[in-house]
Every structure is written in structure tokens, then in C-alpha cells.
Amino acid sequence: MMHVFFWLFLGFLLLILLVLWSHHSFQDSPTAERLDQVQDALTTLHLAVPLRALAERIFALDDRTFVARQGSQKIHHRFLAERRKLALTWLRHTRAKVREVMQLYRVSAGRSAHLRLGVEFALATQYAVFLMVHTVLHFMIWLRGPFATRQVVGYACGLAERLVLEAGPWVVETDGSRLEPLAGDWAKS
Amino acid sequence: MSTGIRRINVEEAVLDLRCRTLAGIPGELGRLIYLAATRDYNTGQYHHEGLASQFTEEVARGALALCHEEVFNRLALSSLEQLVEELDRYVVSTRERPEDLLTAWATLEPYRVAIPMDSAPLAAKLFTSNLGVAVAVLLARQAAGPDSQQSA
């Protein structure tokens, strides 16, 4: 039994090392200007992920504080219910858009003769982490509401931005509109 | 007309619209409603007689669309407290009875048609949710009486 735990622990340690390595593998941290350029390009293909500014507004504590100060239970409940719905919608939109970009990226990268193995591996790891974080976030928002999840939301936004920054230009250059039907075929196979 | 010249004209038209028209409207919400009102309900096309006569119809439409999007994005990303202040300012500027206007807004939600056509769906949802709450807050303050008109 002990050897099972040993291998599990080793596997977990390896996973942490991979995640840390993948964080450092992307060449640059996303600058706002570079991200804006990629997002603008993706917008023309209807692939832009929801902006961080929107997430910061949805999960903003000052709004909750302001509503609580009004002294009306009815307004407070309405606000909390609507914000929870908005938070879950944001989560769904971000996940859907990143998934679309990554699907198209896989198709375009698969046809390229110039693969960057290290970056590909890092991207795959980051994407797996992104999906895990989003699942955890969904559960946290459902259980505790949006305002208890701000730090995790910030981390999820950072992950989405890095993925979009790395995979987005490939999708844009290869023309996403041509890739979309191919990505659909790939997803079905 | 080349793309470069058209872009410069749109920028000039935007500047003209901001300085000569929008600057005279108190508050962002007032400006949003004004800009939304320049849209044809059937076609979604913007039209402004004065701007179209100075530039061209196409340039005027571009400028109106840009300004509409700008003002909407600022409001969508405002805090709830700021939105309540904007709504209060708008109510005062209409000179209508606050209770009447706020009750109508709570029922009809007319601010939904003030959203630009190309806005991000999530931004639109956030805006309508926040404005609905802002209306409820001001209505509650009206009901509570003049002593609670100031924000808590």
C-alpha cells in the first residue's frame, strides 16, 4: 500500500514541477498592449475572451458593500442572485472562448512544419490547469457566491490571457474562419 | 475616399460630437440615452442631421457609433455607487417626478434599448443588472423619504 502512496506523491510532485515549468516557458508576460492587439484580432473572428476589466467589475467587493449599506434585504438578495448568475456566465463565456481558440490552434499547429515542442507542452499543461481552475471556480461560485473567489478569478484571468496571447496569433495568422469547419471535424473524431 | 482620410474624418467628427453636443448633456447616462436616440429603431442606423451636414452620412454614423460604444463601456464598467449617482443626476435633469420615472424604469426597463448593438453580451447583461439594482436603490430611497436621499 505504501508504494501506491509513494508513486501518487511522485506523480503529484511531477505535476507541480510541470505547472511551474510551463509558467516560465512562455517567453513574455502578457503586456496590456500586446494582449489588446491579439484580442482585437480575435474579435474579428468572434473569438475574443471576455475582458479582465469585466471580470473585475463582476467580482468587485465595493458593489456588495454599497448594496449592503442600503439596508434593504430585498435589494441585497436581488443583487447577490444576479451577480452569481453573471459570474457563472462570465465563467462559461471565458471557458468557451479559450476552448475555441485552443481547438483552432491545435488544428493550425498540427499542419505546421515549425513546431516548438517546449512551448507546445507548456501550452497543453497551462490549458489543463486552466480547465481545472475553471471547474474549481464553478464549484466555489455555486457554493459560496462570486465575492469569495476573487483571487482565484484573478489567477484564472491570467491563465486565459497567457493562453490567448500564445495561441491567438497562430489562429489569426492561419485565418480562424477557414479552420473552424476543420476544428469541428477534429472535435468529432 | 481613401480609408486614411475617412478615419481622420471620423476622428474629427467624434471630437466635434464630444465638444459641441455631448459636453452639454449632464451625466454619462444622459449622453448614452441621447446617443441611443439617434438610432433608427427599425434599422439600427445612426443619424444626426448636424453632423451629417458637416461631414458625410457615413462619417457621422461612424462617429455616433464610436461615441455610443465609449459611453456605454464607461457606464458598464462603473461601480454600482457611481451608477446610482449617474441615475440620480439623470432623473434630476429630466425634471420629471422621480417616483414616476423610477417606477416606469423599474417596470419597462427602457435602458435596454440604449445598449449599442455591437456591445459584448456580458457587458450588456452587467449593465442591465446594475441599472436595475440602481433603480431599486433610488426607489427605496424615495419611499424612505427626504432624510435618506443622501447615499448611506
**Contacts with B123 (C-beta within 8 Å, 6 or more apart), sequence order:** A54, B72, B73, B76, B77
The strand pairing partners of B46, in sequence order, are B39
- State ipTM: 0.85
Residue A146: how many CB atoms within 10 A of its CB?
26
* B133: nearest CB among A53, A75, A89: A75
Question: CB distance A82–B137 less than 8 Å?
Answer: no
Smallest CA–CA distance, residue B70 to chain A, in Å, is 14
Cβ contact A108:A170 at 8 Å: yes
Residue of A54, A75, A89 lying closest to B137 (CB–CB): A75
pLDDT tens digits for range A19-43: 676 666 554 555 667 777 777 766 6
Rounded to 5°, angle at Cα B108 from B103 and B113: 130
Judge whether B25 is closer than 8 Å to chain A, CB to CB: no
B138 contacts in chain A (CB < 8 Å): none
pLDDT tens digits in sequence order for chain A, 189 residues long: 788 888 888 877 877 776 676 666 554 555 667 777 777 766 666 666 677 889 999 999 999 999 999 999 999 999 999 999 999 999 998 998 888 888 888 877 777 666 677 778 888 888 999 999 999 999 999 899 999 888 889 889 888 888 888 887 777 666 555 555 544 444 443
pTM: 0.81
What is the chain A residue with the closest CA to B80? A63
Alpha-carbon distances of A71 from A74, B28, B148, rounded to whole Å: 9, 27, 11
